Structure 1
Amino acid sequence: MTDGGFGLGELLTAAEEAPPMESVSVVAEHLEHRFGAFTVSFLFVDVVGRRVVRLTTGGMDGGEDGRSRGIPLSGSVYDEVLRSQASRVEEAGNGGYRVVAPVTNRGDCLGVLEVFLPAPVDDTALRGVEEAAHALAYIIVTDRRFTDIYQWGRRTTRVSLAAEIQHQLLPSASCCEADGLTVAGALVPADRIGGDTYDYALERDTLHLSITDAMGHDVDSALLATLLMGALRGARRLGESITEQAERAHDALVDHGRGAMATGQLMRVDLEDGSVEIVNAGHPRPLLLREGEVEEVSLVAHLPFGIPSPFPYEAQKLHLRPGDRLLLLTDGMQERRAARVDLAAVLRETRDLHPREATRWITSVVLDACGGHLRDDATVLCLDWHGHEHGHGSGARSRRVRMGADTAPAGRSD
């Protein structure tokens, strides 16, 4: 198998020169020149998280109704690669060989690259496909600013106006790995959108987290969530304290009037020592997994945003230790039909999963318990604290990366 053709630098240059919807075509040409690849696809997970959608050099695999077709994810090779972040090589029925490699950027798993090659896959070819997959992650992160193709492709079901607003409020990446921490979020919308949001922002020495639940359903709750997130992000970007951020969110809902109300939880994590400031505005308490045991974090709940109170918001304290996993959640995770789910037990059972997979598993358990129909949005935000390289504790470590994903074993800090 030859290794001719242009290299990764030329690949990135070619991608920049091509239209943003031609990312797969550029990568396919690169792999055809180097290894004789004859079929190349990018597959990514749909909004619900239960199917993957195929994008080829010919475009999206779309249905007659204008929505993309999906391939069931559970039990597939794509699911295995997404979960393990390890490539899979196998013989194909056409006499060739198939390579499926993760397409990941800073822990945000965008999908998988599927490549069919005409000859047995040696180390050079496998490394070449994996490098192309990693490059594709950077290309897509850039290109999706300029095209709707990736947003459209994730929609295997019709999206309501409320859901459209809600999706735009979420971070552009549902997962982020950094030195000392991993954070991942998941949101499963209710049949009638319930106004949940989550957010995170990473600075040089600080991680900001928030999870909120606006009152009402559908467009009304989505509009309240928009006010809430706008106020929180605006205050955060001005460098205001966590209590000032809470006050801005409260004021935004009070000024809106009409009985606007939302619960929320804001966190500010010091990346040097793992100390945490928390403001709880009438929101469900987080769960802390520490050394195999789960406990609810003891917090005093202030009144929700939008409800006048004579008492100002106060920041409460928590100190994270290397190896801790913290789970923030909305009340949709605890609704009546999901009451049979022991969230503490599920959190323990998923402790060895990456936060990206743990959040998907936990929300899926709740969705299944509700028969696939939620009365309220079910949202979780998971933080794994490994500890800063210069932080306290023997478990502290720096990030170790391969192909855009952290290589440290999930659920461990060593």
Structure 2
Amino acid sequence: MSGGQSGLPRLLAAAETAAPADAIDVIAEDLRRRFNAAKVSFLIVDLTGKAVARLSTAAAASEREAERIPLFGSVYEEVIRTQRLHQEATSHGHRVIVPVTNRGDAIGLLEVLLPADPGEAVLDAVGEAAHALAYIVIANGRFTDLYAWGKRSRPPTLAAEIQYQLLPPSLSCEAAQFTLSGNLEPSEDLSGDTFDYTQDRDTLHVSVTDPMGHDIDAALAATVLVGALRGARRAGADLAEQAHRADQALIDHGRGHATGQLLRINLHTGRARLVNAGHPWPLRMREGAVEAITCEVDHPFGLSELTPHPYRVQDLDLRPGDRLLMFTDGMLERHGEKVDLAALVERTRNLHPRETTLALTSAVRDAANGRLEDDATAVCLDWHGPQETQRHVGSGADTQQASAARTKDQS
């Protein structure tokens, strides 16, 4: 077998020519042809973050059938967690599993069964195929429900269906200055919680919101709230004005009230500013110690008619190496009060924010024996430093370079 020159341009061109739902089969066919691969599978991580669905062939996908595999204790979990290639000799050939990841968003895995022990050139080619596959899935997800279906262990409620459209397209993001990830429980039965983020040339914007109520009413309130915040942000409004417009939108449309937290970080200076609208205090871990940031708390969005004073924009002390955790009250109240959140943040300090938020929300769900009475949402931000002085310090965050690294595990 020979790796040859980079096939990335050819793969992307072929995927663009294929139907959106068949684009992943372009990768499979290429690996079969070039390296005589016996089996090629794409395994997509589902909404819970605790299982993968094997999308092997167009036929299986069209029939809405896929093998669903729990991640806990599996080699798939190890590859997703470490973002490192796994290879092993089996009785049927040489098995290679590569992460399919884009900017920290662990989309899934590419699994290939090769006839013999591959050399470095072949491993490079499989890694390149996985890299291309990440872009193929992201691009074609706009045109087909295949990948959205693959992420679902069971159909979500109508409220959850609405709310997933409000979330950012990726729940994780890695950049030079920061690594960020969020997670929500219960994944198929959301009823209000949302988070959002975006990065422009100068600024990182993050929000966490929690409308009152449950089910469809909360989802509709979240729609108004997130729409107002995004509209204000995209119009260039500052934090105080964003908060004001969100508050007024809930009042104008009779959607009750919502707590929320708006964060804005200057990527050049590192200056962080915060608005807290009746929301739980965030936690900050600095040099291994976790403490609450006891900021001033203003009235929730939608209540300015009762407490008419402007939202305060506060400075937030954020330094390179800090880990910041923002969350909704479902992480603290009812079953959440059984979980020592600060201790769990300390124990997960060496994990990527993607793994940390999953561990935190899973702990709350486990405390409720899988039956949460309120949404539990967590957003974890590792701040590496401003653009001019950015440096990676002890956050445990992996990067795309780490994703490309390899470890050989023999079994």
TM range (shorter): over 0.9
Aligned counterparts of 2:148 and 2:188: Cα–Cα separation in 1: 20
Aligned to 2:408: none
State which of 352, 370, 373 in structure 1 corresponds to 2:371. Answer: 373
| Aligned-pair CA distance for 1:394 | 9.2
Q: Is the 8 A contact 2:83 2:404 kept in 1?
A: no
Q: Kindly tell me: are residues 375 and 394 of structure 1, through their superposed partners in 2, closer, same or farther at Cα, counting changes over 3 Å?
A: closer
Q: Residue type of the partner of 1:72?
A: P
In structure 1, the partner of 2:108 is 111
Aligned to 1:306: 302
Q: From the superposition, tell whether residues 341 and 322 of structure 1 become closer, same or farther in structure 2 (CA, over 3 Å).
A: same
Q: 1:65-214, aligned counterparts within 5 Å?
A: 68-94=66-92, 96-189=93-186, 193-214=190-211
Give the partner amino acid of 1:302.
D
**Cross-structure match for 1:411:** none
**Which secondary structure state, in structure 1, belongs to the residue aligned with residue 388 of structure 2?**
coil
Q: 1:245 aligns with which of 235, 242, 247?
A: 242
* Aligned counterpart, 2:216: 219
Q: Distance in 2 between matches of 1:67 and 1:217?
A: 32
Q: CA deviation at 1:33?
A: 2.5
The offset of 1:174, in angstroms, is: 0.5
For residues 205-251 of structure 1, give each alpha carbon's deviation from its aligned partner in whole angstroms, at most 9, with x where no partner exists. Answer: 10000000011111000000000000000000001001100001000
CA distance in 1, matches of 2:317, 2:269: 8
- Cα displacement (A) at 1:192: 5.4
Query: Which residue does the alignment assign to 1:51?
Result: 51
- 2:3 and 2:165 map into 1 onto residues whose CA distance is 42
How far apart, in 2, do the equivalents of 1:272 and 1:44 lie?
Answer: 35
Deviation, 1:117, is 0.5
Length-normalised TM-score, structure 1: 0.92
Q: Deviations over 1:66-106 (max 9, x none)?
A: 57541111011110000000000012232x11100000111
| 8 A contact 2:51–2:68 mirrored in 1 | yes
2:103–2:400 Cα contact (<8 Å) kept: no
C-alpha spacing 1:265/1:67, structure 2 compared with 1 (3 Å) = farther
The CA distance in 2 between the partners of 1:401 and 1:186, in whole Å, is 19
- Structure 1 unaligned spans of 5+: 408-414
1:22-80 residue CA offsets vs partner (Å, 9 max, x unmatched): 122100122122211121111011112221101012444698xx575411110111100
Distance 1:213 1:273, change over 3 A: same
- Say yes or no: does 1:268 pair with 2:267: no
Q: Deviations over 1:260-302 (max 9, x none)?
A: 1100000101111221110000001100000110010011111
Q: How many residues align?
A: 402
Q: Distance in 2 between matches of 1:394 and 1:53?
A: 34
| SS class of match (1:357) | helix
After superposition, give the CA deviation of every residue in 1:374-404 in whole Å (9 maximum; x if it has no partner).
Answer: 100110111100113423889599x995469
Change over 3 Å in CA distance of 1:61–1:73 after alignment to 2: farther
| Distance across 2 between alignment mates of 1:171 and 1:328 | 16
DSSP-derived class of the 1:41 partner:
strand
Conserved in 2, the CA contact under 8 Å of 1:24 and 1:40? Answer: no
Aligned counterparts of 1:152 and 1:87: Cα–Cα separation in 2: 26
- Residue identity in the other structure for 1:335: E
Question: Within 2, Cα distance between the matches of 1:72 and 1:255?
Answer: 45
Q: Which residue of 1 aligns with 2:40?
A: 40
| Structure 2 gap segments, 5+ residues each | 406-411
Indicate the SS of the match to 2:338: coil
2:279 to 271, 278, 283: 283
Any idea what the Cα deviations from partners look like across 1:121-177, whole Å, max 9, x if unmatched?
Answer: 211111111110011001111010110000011111121111100111100001000
Q: 1:367 to 1:60 in 2, by over 3 A?
A: farther
2:311 counterpart letter in structure 1: Y
- The letter for the 2-side match of 1:77 is V
Cα distance in 2 for partners of 1:135, 1:369 equals 39
Structure 2 Cα separation of the partners of residues 160 and 230 of structure 1: 21
User: CA–CA distance in 1 between the matches of 2:247 and 2:39?
Assistant: 53
Do the aligned partners of 1:4 and 1:33 also contact (CA within 8 Å) in 2? no
Shift of 1:190: 7.3
Q: 1:216 to 1:99 in 2, by over 3 A?
A: same
Cα 1:300–1:59 change in 2 (3 A) is farther
Task: Give the distance between the partners of 2:392 and 2:106, measured in 1 at CA.
Answer: 29
- After superposition, the Cα gap between the structure-2 partners of 1:343 and 1:45, relative to the gap in structure 1 and judged at 3 Å, is same
TM-score, normalised to structure 2, is 0.93
* Matched-pair identity in %: 52
Range moving further from structure 2, 54-63 or 269-278: 54-63
Going from structure 1 to structure 2, the CA distance change for 1:313 and 1:250 (only over 3 Å counts) comes to same
Matching residue of 1:391: 389
Letter of the 1:278 counterpart: L
**Against the structure 1 CA distance between its residues 172 and 275, is the aligned structure 2 distance closer, same or farther, given a 3 Å change threshold?**
same
Query: For the Cα contact (< 8 Å) 1:253–1:306, is it kept in 2?
Result: yes
Aligned residue type for 2:355: E
